[in-house]
């Protein structure tokens, strides 16, 4: 299973995937390309570390969505990598019909809450401020509606009375780093 990872930030979830791959825990999946919409994103430094090509793709003209010329550039680059799975690991753009159509049924996202609760930006902060006792993370299929695709798998994280937003964030990230590689490994076995 050929995997392309898209990310906008430091790449901690991409690193967890690549570490799982290096340790032989990614099943039949193999990361073949990393792309970012930010030229200075930390995720791009992971490529050389793990022997995976990594590149910036100009997302212009929009700041929060992928549409128009930027969308065309992303679609062409990803198509060239011939992915079986496109993994959004902290990719902070809303995807549009052309992109979703090009990779229909092949795009998954990791979200830092137990969807359908707390979709959109700052899922961890939303859960913390709401005072819920349990939050977590969700891997789901990507659809036109943000964070509304079919749930593939979730991991729960209890919120303790002593937790701060910082400690909760660390706990959710740790859960993400376990969940996403395991889902990719499972999907790779199911696709055989």
Give the catalytic positions in this structure. 111
- Residues 125, 70, 66, 141, CA torsion sign: negative
Non-local CB neighbours of 176 within 8 Å, separated by 6+ positions: 12, 13, 16, 110, 112, 137, 155
Q: Which helix (H) or strand (E) segment is 15 a member of?
A: helix 12-22
d(CA 93, CA 89): 11
58 pairs with which residues across the strands? none
d(CA 61, CA 50): 31
The three-class DSSP label of residue 71 is helix
d(CA 133, CA 127): 9
- Asked whether the beta carbons of 142 and 107 are under 8 A apart, the reply is yes
């Amino acid at each position: 299973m050929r995997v392309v990872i898209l990310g906008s930030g430091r790449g901690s979830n991409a690193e967890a995937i690549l570490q799982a791959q290096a340790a032989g825990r990614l099943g039949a999946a193999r990361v073949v390309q990393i792309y970012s919409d930010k030229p200075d994103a930390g995720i791009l430094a992971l490529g050389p570390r793990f022997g995976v090509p990594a590149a910036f793709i100009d997302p212009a003209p929009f700041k929060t969505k992928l549409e128009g010329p930027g969308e065309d550039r992303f679609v062409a680059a990803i198509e060239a990598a011939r992915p079986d799975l496109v993994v959004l690991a902290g990719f902070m753009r809303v995807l549009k019909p052309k992109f979703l159509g090009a990779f229909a049924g092949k795009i998954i996202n990791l979200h830092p809450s137990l969807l359908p609760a707390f979709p959109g930006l700052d899922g961890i902060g939303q859960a913390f401020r709401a005072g819920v006792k349990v939050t977590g993370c969700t891997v789901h299929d990507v659809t036109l509606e943000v964070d509304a695709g079919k749930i593939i798998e979730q991991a729960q994280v209890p919120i303790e009375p002593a937790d701060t937003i910082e400690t909760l964030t660390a706990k959710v990230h740790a859960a993400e780093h376990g969940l996403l590689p395991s889902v990719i490994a499972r999907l790779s076995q199911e696709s055989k």
